[in-house]
Amino acid sequence: MKHLLIASPPGVAIKAVMGTLLVSAMMSGCVSSGDIRSTAQTRSGTEFATARSLPAQGGTWPAMDWPTQLGGTALQALVDEALAGNPGLQVAAARINAAQALADATRGAAGPTVGGSFTSTYQRYTENGIIPPPLAGAVRSDNQLAASFSYDLDFWGRHAAELRAVLAQGNVAEAEQYSARLTLASAVAHGWMMLHRQTQQLDMIEQQHAVRRKLNDLTLRRIAAGLDNQSDNQIGQLQLDNLRTEQAQWQEALALTRNQLAALLGKGPDRGLTIDRPLPAANVDMALPDALPLELLGRRPDIVAARWHVEALQGEIDTARTEFYPNVNLTAFAGLSSLGLSNLINSGSTIAGIGPAIRLPIFESGVLRARLKGKVAAYDMAVATYNQTLTEALRDVADQVQSLRGAARQRDLQQSAVRAASRSLRLSEQRQRVGTANLLQVLASEANLLQQQRIELDVRMRMADLQVGLVKALGGGFDAGAAGLVAPVKTSSVISLPVKAAS
């Protein structure tokens, strides 16, 4: 790498600065970015067909307090505790602070630099060098006290491009923090729903145990009376053992869920043991909002983060392009210099200088072009990632909607089955009272009702879990506009110089 450096004495500093642009214009074609540019395009929500799968239903976007709507104050309290104590969110917050510090440093680099220095070197001058007597062979101190000034004139907007890139990266970090908060809150809600399902299932299994034991006792009495045989008793004992095995499985799952919730809260496993038994989740009728594909761009923090990443890489491309053009830095100094400290403050010891320094890339062996190609490739990947994120977000919403529709149909059918089993139990009880049925039929009907109620519980809890999934798919109350994270729709380069073919 070779650079052309031009410096001028103080008397012609202004002329040299004026001549800088002329030199730049003459030599800007020596190293050129040529035709290196990206053709990737970010997709908009209107490009996706969603009218049939995701019809507008006049609904509203989720609010930030959606845990209260779905699980009451108990769930909201757990979510708030997790958001305050989870280490993962603390990492995300640290990333935001680091991005803000980098932005401050980039702003500072665009301004002038002023410094001061003092040097004092005590030395013996050689008698066989270029220094004449009486200094030759003498021991003297060389002293300098000076103030310096430096300012990058930045004709091509390099600092603006760098600042745009780092500010965009800061917005990426902030949007990713919102995404992490949403992921954490939905994970807590999922765990809370699972906890409710597991505790309810254990209660119903205990009720089935009681019914099964009554059936087994009745079977033993019937065997003693010669009405049944031992095979009937073995079948009943097998069913009781199966219930005990299932109970052990649910107890294990319950313990693991409590451990998971404790970890999400940023606490030890003992915290999971103190979580109160959840209340039944609310069944909220969630209608899809209008203009879903378009507005989803600003409602999903992962999409917003991906869009700001594209903007950051656009700034890096613009920064890389400025390296093909001259860099002009204005420097100046003023102070005192003398041999011997006694002469330092004399008026004759004053020194001063001003002049531009020009860095002009003449031959870079393809380094600059390769660097720009790398930035363009990274930009293309970011655009592709953004488009893929948008596609997956719409699929996520569609999947949750379709699953909710299917679960709603299953719920209706299962509620009908529960009602039928309940009627069957009532009829058995009525027949027993009038003597046309025995206790065995009543207990069998009760066992069937409990089994149907367990299935209904699973369907209801699946619906509640899918509602959490839909809330997450719709952004969980995030709003890029309210958060100040609306990404620019279109970016433009800060470079306005003509592009020439490489020489």
Amino acid making up residue 38? S
Q: Is residue 357 a contact partner of residue 6, using CB atoms and an 8 Å limit?
A: yes
Q: 3-class secondary structure for 238-261?
A: HHHHHHHHHHHHHHHHHHHHHHHH
402 assigned to some structural domain: yes
* Helix, strand, or coil (residue 58): coil
SS3 (DSSP) at 501: coil
Whether 487 maps to a domain, the answer reads no
* Rounded CA separation 204/446 (Å): 12
Mean pLDDT check: name the lowest of 132-141, 144-153, 395-404, 489-498. Answer: 489-498
Residues 6 or more apart in contact with residue 383 via CB below 8 angstroms = 38, 40, 41, 42, 310
Whole-number Å distance between alpha carbons of 226 and 347: 130
Question: Which has more pLDDT, 469 or 363?
Answer: 469
**How much is the pLDDT for 299?**
94
Locus of tokens 């313990």: 255
Instruction: Decide if 133 is inside a domain.
Output: no
pLDDT digits 0-9 by tens, 224-237 = 777 767 776 777 78
**Sign (positive or negative) of CA dihedral 464, 470, 471, 473:** positive
* 1 and 135 Cβ atoms separated by less than 8 Å: no
**Mean pLDDT, residues 268-289 taken together:** 86
Q: Count structural domains, the chain.
A: 1
Q: Output the pLDDT for position 152.
A: 79
Model confidence at 31, pLDDT cuts 50, 70, 90, reads low
Residue type, 6: I
Q: Which two tokens stand for residue 320?
A: 């890389």
List the one residue out of 169, 178, 164 whose CA is nearest residue 98. Answer: 169
What is the C-alpha to C-alpha distance for residues 201 and 360, in angstroms, rounded to an integer? 75
Report the amino acid identity of residue 140: R
CA 130 to chain centre: 66
Encoding tokens for residue 93? 């917050």
Say which range, 24-28, 29-33, 40-44, 299-303, has the weakest mean pLDDT.
Answer: 24-28
Residue 388 falls within a domain, yes or no?
yes
Distances (CA, A) of 443 to 205, 218, 384: 15, 10, 62
Tell me the H-state helices in 329-438: 367-434
pLDDT of residue 364: 67
Beta bridge partner(s), residue 54: none
List the one residue out of 272, 280, 216, 269 whose CA is nearest residue 244.
216
Helix (H, G, I), strand (E, B) or coil at 8: coil
Look at residue 312 and tell me if it is in a domain.
Answer: yes
pLDDT-derived band at 33, boundaries 50, 70, 90: low
Which CATH number do you get for residue 256?
1.20.1600.10
Tell me the average pLDDT of the chain.
Answer: 84
Q: Would you state the pLDDT for residue 326?
A: 83
CA 435/CA 428 separation, integer angstroms: 10
The pLDDT, as a whole number, for residue 13 is: 46
Q: List, for residues 332-371, the tens digit of each pLDDT value.
A: 888 888 887 877 888 788 888 888 878 777 766 588 888 8
Q: Which helix (H) or strand (E) holds 67?
A: helix 66-85
What token pair was written down for 276? 């109160």
DSSP E strands in 125-258: the ranges are 139-152
Q: How many CB atoms lie within 10 A of CB 155?
A: 15
379: tokens are 């930009």
Question: What is the mean predicted confidence (pLDDT) over 109-138?
Answer: 84
Q: Is the pLDDT of residue 401 over 70?
A: yes
| pLDDT 10s digits, 414-447 | 999 999 999 999 999 898 888 887 888 888 899 9
pLDDT digits (tens, 9 = 90+) for 372-391: 889 899 999 999 999 999 99
Task: Evaluate whether 157 touches 128 at the Cβ level (below 8 Å).
Answer: no
The number of CA neighbours under 13 Å toward the Cβ of 391 is 8
Question: 305 lies in which domain range?
Answer: 44-110+160-325+364-477
Give yes or no for residue 239 having a pLDDT over 90.
no
Give the pLDDT score at 320. 86
Share of the chain above pLDDT 90, in %: 42
- 3-state secondary structure (DSSP) of residue 431: helix
| pLDDT the model gives residue 493 | 42
Q: pLDDT at position 15, please?
A: 52
Phi-psi sector, 340: left (phi>0), alpha (psi -120 to 50), beta: left
Work out the average pLDDT over 54-65: 90
Q: Regarding predicted confidence, which is higher, 25 or 307?
A: 307
In a domain, 222, yes or no: yes
Instruction: Check if the beta carbon of residue 457 is closer than 8 Å to that of residue 201.
Output: yes
Q: Which of 429, 425, 432, 430 is nearest to 446 (CA)?
A: 425
Does 263 fall in a domain? yes
The strand pairing partners of 149, in sequence order, are: 114, 332
Domain assignment present for 209: yes
Q: Quick one: which of 16, 431, 457, 488 has its CA closest to 193?
A: 457
pLDDT at residue 495, as a whole number: 38
**CB crowding 370-385: b at 16 or more within 10 Å, else e:** eebeebbebbeebbee
pLDDT value for 79:
95
Report pLDDT for 340.
76
- Cβ burial, residue 364 (10 Å; 0-12/13-18/19+): middle
More confident residue, 245 or 94: 245
